[in-house]
Amino acid sequence: MANTFDWVEIHVTDMERAADFYQGLFGWSVVRKDTADGADVCIFDTGGTPRTENLSRGGLWLRPASERLGVLVYVLVADIDTALQEAVALGGRVVVPRTPQGRCFRACFSDPDGNVLGLWEEKGAA
């Protein structure tokens, strides 16, 4: 079907460092692939079953000027505090601390290249 979310791409300056960061933080499998144009690319596999109800939709969200603007991809985690601690230990930085979002929680971190990703904690969902 056309016009659905299809791909997440994280731009980095050091492929090995980035692969180590995401493998260490989320346990993702990262595999180097050849591309037709010769670009250096790795494909990550989260190993989990996607929450398809969320992949087929998205949203526009008004954020304070203090938060970085752009597209924000959220990763579902069992415990945001643990994930933030691991991100910092691996060279990342907390951008938005654990924040209540209704009965759930959200947070944001940046990877060593400055890419900002969101974390989502929903009891019983991870």
The answer as to whether 2 is a domain residue is no
The answer as to whether 4 is a domain residue is no
Question: In CATH, what number is assigned to the domain containing residue 84?
Answer: 3.10.180.10
What is the DSSP track for the chain?
--SS--------S-HHHHHHHHHHHH--EEEEE--TT---EEEEE--S---HHHHT--------TTSPPS---EEEES-HHHHHHHHHHTT-EEEEEEEEETTEEEEEEE-TT--EEEEEE-TTT-
Q: Which of 6-10, 59-63, 110-114 shows the highest mean pLDDT?
A: 110-114
The answer as to whether 5 is a domain residue is no
Domain tally for the chain? 1
The answer as to whether 80 is a domain residue is yes
The answer as to whether 86 is a domain residue is yes
Lowest mean pLDDT among 62-66, 70-74, 83-87: 62-66
The answer as to whether 62 is a domain residue is yes
Query: What is the span of the domain harbouring residue 74?
Result: 15-121
